[in-house]
Amino acid sequence: MRCMVTYDTHHGSARRLAQIIADRLGCLCVDVDTPFQAEDAGAYDNLILVFGFRGPYTAQLTKLFIGNMKGKLNYKNLIVVGEGLFSEKEFPGVAEGIRQMAEPYTFNTFFMKGQLRVDTLTPEEQALLGKFSELTGMQITDMGKFKEEDAQEIAGKIHDLLSTLPVPEDPDAGVTRWICTVCGYVHTGDDPPEKCPLCGQPSTVFKKME
């Protein structure tokens, strides 16, 4: 089945995890912060969403990506992969929120304990970390580097899982879609619109989605 991996990252470790998964699956790996680089997500049966999970305000770009895909994910197998530190207990709640947003065909989750390199944090993040230590009495120190063997293990599990998942039935199979190359608006129909209803560009900026 056709797969695509996306990632939302702050310091790069989620990107590394996503690329390892994509390499294992032999599929495309894209940053959800690159507008419409993932414009052909509708062409894939399986979406693997990877994000760095640091707390309740993370994975926002992934959630925005899902919001833009609203209505298109109910015929896709969705796999959510969180990479984080102290948030393993909270991760199921965030994952469930994503599942409710997406309403996918099937839904699976994976969690990988991430790295903490204090010297790589921004001053704002270090201040938040200091406040956390003050409130909890926990002294936060470096927790080591990215563990590639853990990422490879998750990639292998996802590879094996995909062989068991059903092929989703696309209710819009056979429907022609056109995407505005300027703003990313998607139009359904035999021909592109005379002009884009979002950005006002002429039909010539639309391209047919495969």
What is the predicted pLDDT for the residue at 1?
Answer: 67
* Cβ burial, residue 21 (10 Å; 0-12/13-18/19+): buried
CA-CA distance, 16 to 48, in Å (whole number)? 14
Q: How many domains does the chain have?
A: 2
Q: The domain spanning residue 122 has which CATH number?
A: 3.40.50.360
- In terms of domains, do 185 and 153 share one? no
d(CA 97, CA 66): 11
Let me know whether 187 and 116 are in one domain.
Answer: no
Per-residue pLDDT of the chain (210 residues; tens, 9 = 90+): 689 998 887 667 888 899 999 999 999 898 887 655 445 666 788 999 998 866 545 677 788 888 777 677 888 899 999 887 656 777 888 888 889 888 899 999 999 887 666 666 778 777 877 776 777 676 666 555 778 899 999 999 999 999 999 988 765 666 788 888 988 888 888 899 999 988 899 999 999 876
Q: Which domain holds residue 167?
A: 3-171
**148 and 206 inside one domain:** no
